[in-house]
Amino acid sequence: MNKWILGARPRTLPAAIAPVLVATALAAESRNLSHAGLALLVSVSLQVGVNFANDYSDGIRGTDADRVGPTRLTASGLATPRAVKIAAYLSFFVGALAGLSLAALTSWWLVVIGGVAILAAWGYTGGKNPYGYSGFGEISVFIFFGLVATMGTYYVQVERLTFQSLLASLPIGALACAILAVNNLRDREKDFLVGKRTLAVRLGDRNARYFFVLLIICAHLAAIATIFPWGACTLILAPISIGLSRKILGGAQGKDLIPLLGATGKLQLLFAAVFSITLILG
């Protein structure tokens, strides 16, 4: 696999795609596919950017020196720290350009929101006090890949926000957090040794697993609350949700969690697709 595709971490991209899919479905007769396409470019660019930024920041700190998960470019020497940093900047630049286009077409307030999102993406593991090292990563993911991405995509198509758009963002945010939760559970022991206090480290092994299951349950409940009773259609994915939860609770460790990370991303995409259909039908 091309090293830059590897560094972009394709398994995390469902977190960027799902909110755009759901928000576009919710926009109903007011949906604007060109605006949705720009929103998707913003979301994917930020996701790729934060992945490269994490690769760079963790690599130069040495926290990726002994990894359980997929190869990182900086720590493995596949790319220089400078090259990975430039890749992060380029990704953010692409996202910023798409965001500026959307702001010009809708509201200039999007520039402020986009700027905060880029700063949050870099600050996750970058800077002197990265908040991802203090257990706040899930909160950031929920806000930016749940609330902001979903409601923002909805806004740029209909130019208003509704309570239903807020509700629709909750299951997407919960599932995005679930992807990060698996990632941090996989790296928990190594992160503890290098002083990286992720939420999984703070909660401990067993509670981190319960937290993952809670996120999955909340996603289904939030979908039902968003559009009752149609949202219950997401329960057709319950066998997948239960299967994943059983494997997580069963004590899968280290490399055994790598396929579960990909499976959680696939669950989010499937969930978003089913949820989108229910929003259209409802």
pLDDT above 90 (res 1)? no
Domain boundaries, the chain: 3-281
CATH architecture designation of domain 3-281: Orthogonal Bundle (1.10)
Amino acid in position 114: G
Q: How far apart are CA 47 and CA 92, in angstroms?
A: 9
Secondary structure class of 128 (helix, strand, coil): coil
Exposure string of 119-137, with b = 16+ CB inside 10 Å and e = fewer, is: ebbbbbbbeeebbbbebbb
pLDDT digits (tens, 9 = 90+) for 126-142: 888 899 999 999 999 99
pLDDT digits (tens, 9 = 90+) for 45-57: 999 999 999 999 9
The confidence band for 28, taking pLDDT boundaries of 50, 70 and 90, is: confident
